[in-house]
Amino acid sequence: MTNKVNMKELFLEMQQAMIAELRLIRNNVKHAPTKGDAVELSWIEFLGTYLPNRYCVDNAFIVDNTGTISDQIDLVIYDQQYSPFVFCHAGVKYIPAESVYAIFEVKQTLNKQHIVYAADKAESVRSLKRTSVPIVHAGGTYPPRPIFEIVAGIITTSSDWTPALGKPFQEATDALSPLQRLNIGCALDSGSFLFKQDGSFETSSGEEALIFFFIKLFTLLQNLGTVPAMDIDLYSQALDSI
């Protein structure tokens, strides 16, 4: 006899647990900055738990070898294997641009203002300079990894629009520049979206918003492969002795 598990039920229970946690924060944490921090931490913990160990998840600034810095990013998905430096100063993390796979802005609600805000954050990261050098391995040397577009998105608990991903949402996202483009997003109790290369987009039901978001995000990350190996010599030029 073959035992089976109801995968849809497991996925929906995961979503309901996340909704309950965020609702608890919304109803019991009254101070706005503290509430925002708690929501960000919930999403960081969720993705840190369910994404493979190769992916690190944190709140951070992104920097490049020229010293240029991005806006502060609520949620950064990054890799340390080939870009090993993650700086931490006074509790704030600074991650090299080469290490970054994806960035997200975390807000309470999905609306035009927050889409534009998330898009500006995306532009501040995608505008940074990234390097790529050959990777030496046991059998020889891999050529420099091509620089890919960093995935950018927005994560919210709900939406100010009805329907959440209707015409106003499409108009707000259509107005974004290429550097501002939001690839993926989630309004947890309303639905998630994924923009495709041809300009069209997929959406989920509200019931399946979280699992749709997670699976599509994981697919995007898989398709990116590995981050480029950073040119450490360029970063080290900030030192007087090098």
Q: Residues near 130 by Cβ (< 8 Å), separated by ≥ 6? A: 64, 97, 98, 147, 228, 230
> How far is it, in rounded angstroms, from Cα 76 to Cα 86?
12
Active site residues: 74, 105, 107
Residue 201's CB is within 10 A of a number of other CB atoms, namely 16
Any alpha helices (H) in 51-85, and if so which ranges?
A: none
Indicate the burial class of 215 (C-beta count within 10 angstroms; 0-12, 13-18, 19 or more).
middle
Check if the beta carbon of residue 227 is closer than 8 Å to that of residue 101.
yes
Q: Kindly tell me the sign of the dihedral angle through the C-alpha atoms of 47, 178, 156, 121.
A: positive
Is residue 99 a contact partner of residue 86, using CB atoms and an 8 Å limit? yes
